[in-house]
Structure 1
Amino acid sequence: MEIPVTGLMFHSDDSDPLHSHRLFITSWDSVPVHSHQFRGITSFDLGHRHQYAGTTEPAPTGVPHNHRYFTVTSVDDGHRHQISGVTGPAIPLPDVGHYHEFRGTTSVNGANPHTHQYSGQTST
């Protein structure tokens, strides 16, 4: 079974020794897809916090949907954490477009193992 997929591929900057490219899918099975930017600051725990930023995975346009997301925090207090999850459903805006809310708990890390809480809204 073949599924038509369209998108854009960008050449890497060759900083990765395994050589990679970034693929941005713009439609899947003839349905347009989109993604959102997200960023924020974790909760303040054990005397520090972390910053994070990323882009959600693509999802279909024009239908009820969520997005998966994954990123790694900044290095603070000598360590970093992973952030991953699934956004809430699309929240329509009055004019056009939508955004998603997200929240969760980071992975466990640090010399004194701990987590941080995070939450926010994606870009439109």
Structure 2
Amino acid sequence: MRSIFAPSYKPSHSHLYAFETLNAEDHFHIINRFTKPVNGDSYDAHIHYYSGITSFNNGHYHRFYGETGPAIPREDGSHYHEIYGVTYNNYTDPPEGGYGGVVYGTPSMPVHKHAFGGNTSNPVGVDE
């Protein structure tokens, strides 16, 4: 088992990530957030957690969460992470009411989800 916490003498930082999900049911969503901060550098294989909701499109949004891949060093000494995931299911035709079509039940209604992925930005908000 590996520790997910890097020593505190390494700088705390986050990363921006912004993606379009893959198209499903004739629409896509935007994901635009920051990873959770962690202490780490370009060479320690640290990871970040991420979570949030997608943009509101087609009368609904999707929840998502996960962890990045390990730090990937760049030639300039900075680093980035890969993020790949799939959103939670949501109703294909959400009911009226402004709740975002979140699926917690009603299994007879059609649902769908979206894949997403790409690279984060270089570190932002570095606390040295």
The TM-score normalised by the length of structure 2 is 0.71
* Larger strand proportion of the pair: 1
Q: Does 2:24 match 1:45?
A: yes
Give CA-to-partner distance per residue, 1:71-120, whole Å, 9 cap, x none.
21111111000121000001100112000001011011122311000001
CA distance in 2, matches of 1:33, 1:64: 14
- Could you tell me which runs of 5 or more consecutive residues in structure 1 were left unpaired when the two chains were aligned: 1-27
Q: Which amino acid aligns with 1:41?
A: E
Structure-1 separation of matches of 2:76 and 2:32: 26
Counterparts of 1:32 and 1:121 in 2: how far apart (Å)? 20
Worse-superposed segment, 106-115 or 47-56: 106-115
Aligned to 1:74: 55
Q: 1:96 — aligned with what? A: 77
Give the distance between the partners of 2:8 and 2:73, measured in 1 at CA: 24
Shift of 1:32: 2.5
Task: Return the offset for 1:64.
Answer: 2.4
Bigger shift: residues 90-99 or 110-119: 110-119
Provide the rounded CA distance (Å) in 1 between the counterparts of 2:20 and 2:35. Answer: 17
Q: CA separation of 1:34/1:83 partners in 2, compared to 1, >3 Å: closer, same or farther?
A: same
- The two structures have a TM-score, normalised by structure 1, of 0.73
> Structure 2: which 5+ runs fail to align?
1-6, 94-109, 123-128
Structure 1 match to 2:100: none
Q: Which has the higher contact order (CA 8 A, sep 6+)?
A: 2
